[in-house]
Structure 1
Amino acid sequence: MEPTQIIVILTLSFLAATISGVAGFGGGLILLPLLTYFVPLNVAVPLLTVAQLFGNGSRVYFSYKELRWRPVILFLLGAIPFAVLGSRLMVNINSSLLKICIGFFLILVVSYKRCNKKDFGLNQYWLTPGGAITGFVSGLIGSAGPVGAVFFLGLKLPPLSYISSEAFTALSMHLTKIFVYGKFELLNIDTLVTGTLAGLAMVGGSYLGKRIITKLSTKKVDLIIEILLLVSAVQLIIF
């Protein structure tokens, strides 16, 4: 990979992590289609997973005192085994088909958010099946922040508790996927190095996101994320 490409990836990673730090999700799904301009999809997904170890880990660190363990454990009971299943399917699935599926998934995410502005009314009993759905999607396409966010937002947690708890579950899923990718030789030294550099950039973005979370309205952040997701979706489906 050319030095210029690495610089662009680091910049995009920083910006994506800033968005995640403010909204609690969205960075991974925004970054993934952009990474496919530089590397094949079966390289982009493991690279993003490595980077998100740092991104989500830093979000946990910056708000760890607010973490809520009960919902985290209930969520991970479903998320971990299905993240393994999704990761194994990603190994064998056709890349072109996967890009199209990701594109339509992004459109569905935005459509769901647009159609469900009111309270979701979800409680802790939804956490384990919700974790299973989120883990499977995360293993298959590399990131599923909006899916997991639906179940955590339904708990009506304080903002920092929501961000740190959701980030911890994402961190756990990424660690699981790293193991699967390594087993199937989808991780090499170049992917690890580039993913680590991108992850370090994400740490800075997470810190900036926490600093500005109280200075930017939620409506503005949501609108920015939805626009970027739709643009990325169209790019994946058409190109």
Structure 2
Amino acid sequence: MIEYAALLAGAFAAAAISGSAGFGGALLLLPLLTHVVGVNAAVPLLTIAQLVGNMSRVAFGFRDIRWRPVLLFLSSALPAAALGAWWFAALPKALMVRGMGFAILIFVALKLRGLTFTPSPRLLLIGGAVVGLLSGLVGSAGLLGAAIFLSLNLPPVAYVASEATTAVAMHLVKWIVYDAAIDLGSGFWPLAAAMSIAMIAGTWAGKRAIERLPVVQFRLLIAGLLAITAVQMIVTG
């Protein structure tokens, strides 16, 4: 019971971190998830929690979605996400934990280097495939997806809603594969619902906190925590 309470607190904190630092919350939650529920259920749980958050963003800005870049991105992202999710279900779990660790380190390095892209249809197709595959394998590749859609120079609401639309579609495809390939047990959905509520509350708290915190230093702190966590996952598997 204490572990599950810690998991809900972690979900709240992860959403608050994403809401204030702009990245890192989902990846920081992964090690806690793998410790409490095991790697087999960790990524599917993270997928459901992220699905809830992104659906709210889609609903908020539905009229501003830019469908052409969204559909270009998804044309490669959806099959890649299904492939990544299938690989996740099939590969040895110790290998997957180490893969998550390496992915976190790469995302942190890209974030600290100020990841940017030049917009083009080719970027959307190639980027969609990479983001989809990584999302299926390690649960989250939001940093790369965000960088790709930021390069399109969309208005703020259009950017948020369009990127969230791609995330919702990928999470749904991943969930279909996870549900078919992994036995998640009877306790999965109650925990997923509780985590979703905790993350909604955390998102609200993060948006409030960003008004009071030195954001640059906070982002560096989160990047450091992610790097330490990633190294631990790589070493221990």
Calculate the TM-score normalised by the size of structure 1: 0.87
| Contact 2:117–2:151, Cα closer than 8 Å, also in 1 | yes
> Which residue number in structure 2 is paired with residue 101 of structure 1?
99
> Which residue number in structure 1 is paired with residue 40 of structure 2?
42
SS of 1:188's equivalent in the other structure is coil
Q: Deviations over 1:181-211 (max 9, x none)?
A: 1111333321122112101111122233344
Choose which of 113, 122, 127 in structure 2 pairs with 1:125: 122
| Contact 2:40–2:182, Cα closer than 8 Å, also in 1 | no
Aligned-pair distance for 1:23?
Answer: 4.7
CA distance in 2, matches of 1:122, 1:95: 36
Q: Deviations over 1:69-95 (max 9, x none)?
A: 332222111111111001111111111
| Contact 1:51–1:197, Cα closer than 8 Å, also in 2 | no
Amino acid at match of 2:179: G
SS of 1:143's equivalent in the other structure is coil
> Which residue number in structure 2 is paired with residue 150 of structure 1?
147
| Contact 1:100–1:236, Cα closer than 8 Å, also in 2 | yes
CA distance in 2, matches of 1:230, 1:9: 20
| Contact 1:59–1:206, Cα closer than 8 Å, also in 2 | no
CA distance in 1, matches of 2:133, 2:115: 26
Amino acid at match of 2:160: I
| Contact 1:123–1:154, Cα closer than 8 Å, also in 2 | no
Calculate the TM-score normalised by the size of structure 2: 0.88
Choose which of 72, 75, 86 in structure 2 pairs with 1:74: 72
CA distance in 1, matches of 2:39, 2:86: 15
The 1:23/1:173 distance shift into structure 2, 3 A limit, reads farther
Identity over the aligned pairs, expressed in percent?
Answer: 44
CA distance in 2, matches of 1:41, 1:28: 14
After superposition, residues 42-61 of structure 1 pair within 5 angstroms as 42-61=40-59
Q: Deviations over 1:79-125 (max 9, x none)?
A: 1111100111111111111111111111112222333x375333343
CA distance in 2, matches of 1:101, 1:91: 13
Question: Gaps spanning 5+ residues in structure 2: where?
Answer: none
Aligned-pair distance for 1:212?
Answer: 4.8
The 1:118/1:13 distance shift into structure 2, 3 A limit, reads closer
After superposition, residues 142-221 of structure 1 pair within 5 angstroms as 142-212=139-209, 219-221=216-218
CA distance in 1, matches of 2:227, 2:120: 29
> Which residue number in structure 1 is paired with residue 227 of structure 2?
230
Q: Deviations over 1:12-69 (max 9, x none)?
A: 1112112223455422211111211212111111121122221222333344454433
> Which segment drifts farther, 163-172 or 42-51?
163-172
CA distance in 2, matches of 1:124, 1:216: 38
CA distance in 2, matches of 1:214, 1:149: 22
> Which segment drifts farther, 74-83 or 158-167?
158-167
> Which residue number in structure 2 is paired with residue 29 of structure 1?
27
